[in-house]
A and B are shown apart, each in its own frame.
Chain A
Amino acid sequence: MALLEVKDLSVRVGDKDILKGIDLSIDRGQVFVLFGPNGSGKSTLLKTIMGISGYTITSGEILFEGRRLNDLSIDERANLGIAMMFQHPPKVRGIKLSQVAHLLSEDEARIQELVERLNLGYLFDRDLNVDFSGGEMKRAELLQIILMQPKLILLDEPESGVDIENISVMGKVLDEYLRESGASCFIITHTGYIIEYVKATHGCLMLDGNLYCVGNPQKLFETIRDYGYEKCKECTVRHAE
């Protein structure tokens, strides 16, 4: 049984149909990279899997370890083993990063180790995401996600706003977690930097609410890099799954 199975999923946001009958399957241990131009529906897919409000499923279903997620709350999905890194996490005044970390894990040594590796010591007792830079937010997100010990990690542009040095730090921590836990990962990336650190097993392309060209992520990335999404749009040999 696949870890995550998305069947004929259509999603509406406001009065716009964004996803149009998506089918996708991610197995345990797979690292799945999702490419696609802005506005193609990538974040919508991740947020729908997480259960964020405003993303209305109009048809289809999402299964996690065979269990239907459609009607589960966000925290129920999280507690089943799904963790999402937000592209733009909200500022949460009055709640410190340390407080959340301690709610997610009782393993003080593990918390300290990750705080150190992700260079979060100076942010640990600050209000979550308040006056954090883009890179600081992403590192804080990664800390929380790994402390949750999820089976499936959803990453929405993990490298945006992060400098090269910190991408390397994050990439290594993420890769180590994936290797040790056997968890799966679903990554949206524009730059592709993150896939230099994690062993991406699959890639696919989203265009206008549909998925195409499921295959080798490196090859897909190179093709996109060489030809751009415009060519993808024109391409007549889009490979439906």
Chain B
Amino acid sequence: MPNEKDVFKELPKEDLLSAGIDPTEKGRSATFIQVDNRPSLSRTLFKGVELMPIEEALSRYPKYRDYLGRAFSMVGKDFPQDTEGGFFLLVKKGHSIVLPIQVCLFLKKKQFSQKIHNIIVVEESASAYVINGCTSEKAATDAFHLGISEYFVEKGGYLNFTMIHSWNEGVAVRPKSVAIVEEGGMFISNYVCLKPVKEVVMYPTCLLRGEGARASFSSIILSHPGSLQDIGSRVILSAPNTSAEIVSRTVSMGGKIIARGHLYASSPEVKAHLECQGLIVSEKGTIHAIPELETDYRDVDLSHEAAIGKISKEEIEYLASRGIDEDLARSLIIRGFMDTDILGLPDELRKKIDELRDKLTENSM
């Protein structure tokens, strides 16, 4: 790949860091970067992982051509075909990749439409952590990102996938993804979106296809004035003893949030819980929580709790009585609400996200 070494120099370090991407690659087992439509770096440091541009993967491993669109067809969904670039990640059978694999999708040009298709395969009994940082330069206004992702977690596999959106006010984003989890497999999806963005619309679906498969979706979303974030997760529990959890914590500082969640039991003997919690800290903000539970069988355990509200005056006054001024009390409550512990991230990444969250909520009023 041309200029592999220089690609980190071309990209603003702060933007990368805020998206969880470590330019030093220390503590990472593989790195992939795509800038606009150009795959700019792919490097694998560990045996058991293959990470490369999708086009390269499909020509090297023809068998994966069948994977394009496979997950979407399994859940009866269409997907846009006009993509260019994207990455292919393969974690080979039986390999446990402890250090995170990092993938960065970067928007650089103004008015550019980045449309990519990614395939992630975690083979039988393999496990991996992925940090997918999506970010853009300030100059990338009126830009668009469409990310099609198909995840395949095979029997007994484990995938912990953290997506960090760190765009700017001028970027509209439409991720579309489907995850298929086979028997005994586990898919953990974490989503963080703290910085302003023009629009994010996404509703990933996870199909728990094999007995005992599990899924967990956790999101932390901060919405700024002018943003629209229509974000949800759907899990289809289609085999016995599958279980799922969807947790979202949304805070509107003036933007519009639609927090969706859908648990669908298409098999008996499944268990799942959905939790949508929203906090509105600005008069102009709106949050619409739409939790849905659906089942074809009686013998299921599906539950949800949803709560939306403002910061309670009682809590503010309580902290004030400890000598903490109102602004700090408010920030502390917002930060506490967006508790990154729910994501189970590596320490260093969690600290980074906490720092960003604290900075962005400092002047929350």
Mark A residues whose CB is within 8 Å of B. Answer: 50, 52-53, 73-75, 78-79, 83-84, 86, 89-90, 92-95, 99-100, 103-104, 127, 144, 148
Contact = CB atoms under 8 A, between A and B. Distances in A.
B138 interface: no
B315 interface: yes
B330 to A, nearest CB: 12
A99 B336 CA distance: 10
A53 B335 CA distance: 24
23 contacts: A73-B326, A74-B317, A74-B321, A75-B321, A75-B323, A75-B325, A75-B326, A78-B321, A86-B321, A90-B312, A90-B314, A90-B315, A92-B315, A92-B333, A93-B336, A94-B337, A94-B338, A95-B332, A95-B336, A103-B324, A127-B336, A144-B322, A148-B323
A25 B96 CA distance: 71
Contacts of A53: 313, 317
A53 B338 CA distance: 27
B44 to A, nearest CB: 38
Nearest to B338: A94
B339 interface: yes
Give me the 10 closest cross-chain CB pairs, A-B, nearest first. Answer: A94-B336, A74-B320, A78-B323, A75-B320, A95-B336, A90-B314, A79-B323, A75-B325, A94-B337, A90-B315
Interface residues of B, number: 21
B interface SS class: helix
Contacts of A93: 336-337
Nearest to A150: B323
Contacts of A100: 319, 322
A104 B319 CA distance: 11
Interface string B37-78: 000000000000000000000000000000000000000000
A92 B318 contact: yes
A84 B321 contact: yes
Interface string B198-221: 000000000000000000000000
B90 to A, nearest CB: 39
Nearest to A79: B323
A94 B325 contact: no
Contacts of A73: 320, 325-326
A148 B317 contact: no
Contacts of B325: 73, 75
A152 B337 CA distance: 32
B333 A52 contact: no
Contacts of A94: 332-333, 335-339
Interface in B264-322: 312-315, 317-322
Contacts of B320: 73-75, 78
B319 A92 contact: yes
Interface string B337-353: 11100000000000000
B357 to A, nearest CB: 12
The residue among A73, A75, A84, A104 with the most chain B CB atoms within 10 A of its own CB is A75
Contacts of B332: 94-95, 99
Contacts of B326: 73, 75
A74 to B, nearest CB: 4
A78 B314 CA distance: 16
Contact of A104 (B312, B313, B322, B333): B322
Given A52-B317, A90-B312, A90-B314, A95 B322 contact: no
A216 B164 CA distance: 65
A93 B320 CA distance: 16
Contacts of A52: 317, 321
